[in-house]
Amino acid sequence: MSVQASSWAWTTDTTSSGQRLVLLALADTANDTGECWPGAQHLATKTNLSERQVRVHLDALEDMGLLRRKRRRRADGSLGTYTYWLAMASGSELPAAVDNHPSGSQLPVVQRQPTAAQNRHTETTSEPSENTAAPFAEFWMAYPRKVGKPTAQRAYNRQVKDHDELMAGLAAWAAHWATLEDQQYVPHPTTWLNRHGWLDQPPAPSPRGRAGTVQTTVDTARQVLEQIAADAHQVTEQLQARRLELEGGDQ
């Protein structure tokens, strides 16, 4: 564990507590130059997050310029864990990411110049760019709870990589939210976007008309029991009549 890396992680601005946890977990395994290579499962165990959440936060931290990563290769040529470099010094050059092809050839990468923590945080919350306005407008029209549009659009720009995937997930959740009696249970759009809610599955719909179905079953059972009782009473009367006839014949 590097004291320098941990101190840097504690004083660096992030946009969520999950990002902070992942950054601290990386720093906890880093050396004094900010280099480390923990697996996603190890990070998930240290942060008490799921591996999917860890990967989402790692993507966000890389987008913010707080780290760079490169996939390692095992001796047999297969892909292993990532090597991470933390941007512990302002203006430091981080290694460029590479692709996962066997050739190991580098992909063109836009080198980020990490700024001071407060400036970096400002960059992540800047106004939305025009090229995302139309997709966001489609999302905003479809989202049932329209609260905090500017912050929602900034969250959209940061978090959404696949608009079609987002809209498919939103359609499933919108169908679920439509069944709620109180719309206050629909999360704010910014909250839903920041937690990548479209990747989760909405709860299974509860069976409609269940109470009516149970009542129908009870009524049917009551009718059957009443019919059985009536039939039993009729049989009893017939037996009594037959017994009286037999007693009269004996006399």
* Mean pLDDT (whole number) for 160-186: 87
Could you tell me the pLDDT band of residue 218, with boundaries at 50, 70 and 90? low
pLDDT on residue 68: 92
- Where in the chain are the domains? 3-123, 130-199
111-129: per-residue pLDDT in tens? 444 444 434 444 443 444 4
Specify whether domain 3-123 bears CATH 1.10.10.10: yes
pLDDT above 90: residue 215: no
Is 233 a residue whose pLDDT tops 80? no
Q: Residues 22-69: pLDDT tens digits?
A: 999 999 999 988 999 998 899 999 999 999 999 999 999 998 889 999
Query: Which residue has tokens 């990070």?
Result: 43
CA atoms within 13 A on the CB side of 249: 6
- Per-residue model confidence (pLDDT) at position 213: 52
80: enclosing H helix or E strand: strand 79-86
